[in-house]
Structure formats: structure tokens, C-alpha cells
Amino acid sequence: MSRARQTLEELETLSRTEEPEPREDRTGQMSVTSVDKDDDSLTLTLIADFAAPVEKVWQLWADPRRLERWWGPPTYPATVETHDLIPGGEVTYFMTGPEGDKHRGWWRVTSVAPPTSLEFTDGFADEEGTPDPTLPVTTVHVRLTRHGDGSRMELRSAFDTREKMEQLMTMGMEEGLQQAVGQMDDLLVG
């Protein structure tokens, strides 16, 4: 079994067995307001509302040290190795599990318009950081808009095929994404 596949199975088990307490922002509302899996359009769309301006939410993507603090489930903190947030740029990172195990991932940035949008291809990597062709990749679209006194983030992941979508859903992608985004609230306070 490949290291990446073993990691995904561990994350899937974690997402099924450990339900974190919901995180609330200062207004008492959950940041993640909806998650929609659309089998027809092969997308997973997460909407989150924050009591912070768009520019502050953007910094959680644009600053690699801030990105590390929320990208990945709570028990798998990320370490960003490269962070080149320009079209054609790359972001590489690894997540460290509770037992010290490391799991790598990558982004290929396709478009960026600070502070409102970002698009990238997201995938898994092997132990050397090389993209793992045996696991699915997704195209991620992030859009930030002003919403009331704060901001709204729409994060849409698009899949190539229904099979690849189902493979990532089985691995716990939906739960992991909700847990990761749920960590953003604490970083926006203050």
C-alpha cells in the first residue's frame, strides 16, 4: 500500500471516529454555513461566513505561516515548504500526524486575483514531494466576497470523474475540509 493511500485511510478513520466540537465565531454563528456535494456537476462546494473583512480572510491563504495554522484537519497540522501564489506558481506542504507521520501535498496555481479569488489544482505527493499519479487531483476555486458586516468564502472543488469524486469522499474529504475551514475563525479574531 502506498504511503499516501495509507495516510488517506488514516484520515478517513479519523473523520469517522472523532467529531470535533463545532467552532463558532464571535457572533455565535458557525463559520461553515453549507456544504453541497453535486453529483451532476462533479463538485463539492463549501460556504463559510466570517466576521472579518475579505482582506483579512485572504491573508489566511496568502501568508504561508497563517495557511499552516488551518490547512488540514486539527490533528494533522500543515507545514508549508514553498508558497508561490502566482499563476504557474506552486505551493508544497506536508501534514504531520499524531504519531509524527508526514503526508505531502501540492497545489499548482492557475489564477489569482488578490484579495478575492484563487484557483489551483490540488493533489497528493509521495514521500519525496513528487505528485502521486495514483490518487485523484481536484481543481479548487476560492472566491471571497463581502457579506453583511463580514465576508463569505466559497470554496468549490471540481472532480474529473464521478469515480474520483467518490474516492475522495470515501477518504473523508468533506469532513476534513469542514474541520480545516472550522479552524479559520480563531485566526481571524483580533
pLDDT at 56: 98
Contact 10, 96 (CB under 8 A): no
The whole-number average pLDDT for the span 168-188 is: 94
Percent of all residues in the chain with a pLDDT value above 70, rounded to a whole number: 84
Residue 102: count of CB within 10 angstroms of its CB: 13
All structural domains of the chain, each given as residue ranges with its CATH number in brackets, are 3-188 (3.30.530.20)
Q: What is the 3-state secondary structure (H, E, C) of 22-80?
A: CCECCCCCECEEEEEEECCCCEEEEEEEECCCHHHHHHHHHCHHHHHCCCCCCCCCEEE
Residue showing cell 480572510 = 57
Residue 52 has, within 13 A of its CA and on its CB side, a CA count of 21
Contact 82, 168 (CB under 8 A): no
pLDDT tens digits, one per residue of 6-64: 544 554 444 443 433 333 333 344 599 999 999 999 999 999 999 999 999 999 999 99
* pLDDT at 89 > cutoff 90: yes
Task: Supply the mean pLDDT for the chain.
Answer: 88
Retrieve residue 46's grid coordinates. Answer: 463549501
pTM greater than 0.85 (yes/no):
no
Please provide the size of the chain in residues: 190
Indicate the pLDDT class of residue 123, thresholds 50, 70 and 90.
very high
Residue showing cell 468549490 = 156
Residue 128: count of CB within 10 angstroms of its CB: 6
Contact 162, 42 (CB under 8 A): yes
* Amino acid sitting at position 110: T
Retrieve residue 128's grid coordinates. Answer: 519525496
pLDDT at 73: 87
Retrieve residue 112's grid coordinates. Answer: 489569482
